[in-house]
Amino acid sequence: MAGASQVLRLEGRVALITGASRGIGRAVALRFAKEGAQVILAARTRGALEEVDDEIRDAGGSATLVPVNLTDYSKVDEMGAAVFERFRRLDVLVGNAGMLGVPGPLPHLDPKVWAEVIDTNLTANWRLIRSFDPLLRMSDSGRAIFVTSGLGSEPRAYWNAYAVSKAALEMMVRGYAAELAKTPVRVNLLDPGNVRTGMRAQAFPGEDPMTLAPPETVTDLFVELAEAGCQRQGEVVRAY
């Protein structure tokens, strides 16, 4: 996917990206493939995944598609086994998939929505860690990146389950990073800030999306954190 003279920063690395069918996940998938990675794309919608796959293939790259609902936790375990069977390792894990829920007063939130947001934004990422930690350790330079939000560290009214899930995600990932301090695996969080995505439009329906940066603008940081040479550990890296 690049000219002969271009340095491919992720050449030969196997990278799994969740929420890869749109928004930030899609942009990261395309960028990682452009940088020479073998990408594994996970998302709920097969059709949207196939569109990303077409773009990658048209540019000369290759991808493995995994249509999956990450809250079907047995499927996460199956995905880990399948990646091991095919690649024998995982070099990069990007936990990007997320759910906004319904912003509003905390006491008014539907318990079902609360559970869905926590399951998607927090528990699914723990299941990814549980399933892919052995594969990251099999890499000579395993890297994991989890997408967070400023709402995870700054209390703000009406963001209820979403903010709680991101705060818990940050503590979980930073604790996991501490456990890995004496290993070659590096784990960080990335806060992309205000980016032009479907979730942002859902949260702020009156906002002009063209005033926001496109998802492609934050992919440099993802590449930096995914590179074998990255030594950052347990950080919340902000794109703003």
Q: Torsions phi, psi of 98, nearest 5? A: -155, 165
The residues with which 17 forms a beta bridge, in sequence order, are 41, 94
The one-character DSSP state at 17 is: E
Residues 6 or more apart from 168 whose CB is under 8 A from it? 118, 122
SS3 124: helix
Is 162 one of the annotated active-site residues of the chain?
Answer: yes
**Structure tokens belonging to residue 210:** 């063209």
Cβ atoms of 16 and 42 within 8 Å: the answer is yes
Q: Which of 158, 162, 176, 240 is catalytic?
A: 162
Which residues are catalytic, by number? 162
